[in-house]
Chain A
């Protein structure tokens, strides 16, 4: 496993606190997220686990600012000097331009984010995909695209990293590289990961939440089974 190069973050000193309060998102009369509360800050890694369709992805989009809550609020408190956090988001899609190569995608993202493109490109080596760097993203395999997508997110040096299913579509070796990269790169950032219950996501996280039928609840330990509806909900 290559030793990860530490990305010097120019804004590493600015810490952010995320306060989500009563977040609710309805699609028509379908409930995706129901009165979710979450408070976390830079340096913390949060895992949200739950079955398919439990509302994890909608919650992540709400937190990232890519969806508007039906009710409730997402607010950010920042240490002095910072205003709004830069959010890096990786959902089910890759968010890559398929006609461009991994290198071009990362260069573009870095230039738009005013970060050094070369440091972002080193992530490709770290994630074991440097040999694919010159191909169109549209021609790459799902596992490779997933890693390029993560490299693009981290290349923008975000304060907040939100990843939906970080280890999906990856073989054990690739998953190990991704885990190592996340551990090495996201120590000071605010990290939120969602998955339907794999051990790797839990291993990375400091705090564990479970989601079922749109409700979010914090757990001390992973029950190993999907949670039954409890009286404390809501």
Chain B
């Protein structure tokens, strides 16, 4: 399938650009970490309460970093109008959308790893074997968040209010992904992974819905003028 091969090529290009961009990933990780620490401080020093809030704090900080990274990955193509060349070169332009989703999902997974590690250390979270369930939660959340963000960035990026509209349009659409991630992480941390399953299904539904919508309408959203 050419479209998937092209998408993989484009995702590899994005990841290579990010790795080479002198610390953009480090900056995004730091941004997430700072957001996490500040949110934890705002919640107060009570250890037990913080431990209960850990999933919410972690995923909120991640959402914050995700918005920044979705914007950055879009700019890889926008700078020097590289996008026009992709637009003309590709037989199937859905590869641009799929590639971007793939690249953003990988970046988000890395950020999740960093932030979750931070949460475990700072909030002294108990980890049992059931914590392995966090892996599918993270993967599905990353795909859902990426599939949604890439579509929204295409809309906000073409408007005159990019920085303002992106979070404004993205946050309400991300409610299911955020709630699913927070609730399933909470369930897994109290060793009740079965309760995470329906949330995993919901998150997967969002990922599938937006990936499907993206494949259908991305070309309309991204047409250059």
Contacts and interface: CB of A to CB of B under 8 A. Distances in A.
- CB–CB under 8 A between A and B in the complex? yes
B205 to A, nearest CB: 32
B76 A95 contact: no
Nearest to B2: A114
Contacts of B16: 99-100, 104
B225 A68 contact: yes
Interface string B90-118: 10000000000000000000000000000
A55 B18 CA distance: 36
A202 interface: no
Given A67-B224, A97-B17, A152-B85, 12 more contacts: A68-B225, A86-B88, A91-B84, A93-B80, A93-B81, A95-B81, A95-B82, A98-B79, A98-B80, A108-B9, A136-B20, A156-B89
Interface of A: 64-68, 86-89, 91, 93-100, 104, 108-109, 111-113, 136-137, 152-153, 156
A99 B21 contact: yes
Nearest to B18: A99
25 contacts: A64-B88, A66-B225, A67-B224, A86-B88, A89-B88, A93-B80, A94-B81, A94-B82, A95-B81, A95-B84, A96-B80, A96-B85, A97-B76, A97-B80, A98-B80, A99-B17, A99-B21, A99-B76, A100-B13, A108-B13, A112-B6, A112-B89, A112-B90, A136-B20, A153-B85
Contacts of B87: 66
A87 B224 contact: no
Contacts of A156: 89
B36 to A, nearest CB: 28
Q: Give the interface SS of chain B, mostly helix, strand, loop or mixed.
A: helix
A86 B85 CA distance: 11
Q: How large is the interface on B (under 10, 10 to 19, 20 to 34, 35 or more residues)?
A: 20 to 34
B201 interface: no
Given A93-B81, A94-B80, A112-B6, A99 B20 contact: yes
Given A93-B81, A97-B82, A113 B76 contact: no
B13 A97 contact: yes
A84 to B, nearest CB: 10
Sorted from nearest, which 3 A-B pairs have the closest CB atoms? Answer: A93-B81, A99-B17, A95-B85
Contacts of B224: 66-67
Contacts of B80: 93-98, 137
A59 B116 CA distance: 52
Contact of B89 (A66, A68, A99, A109): A109
Nearest to B24: A99
Contacts of B76: 97, 99
Interface in B68-82: 76-77, 79-82
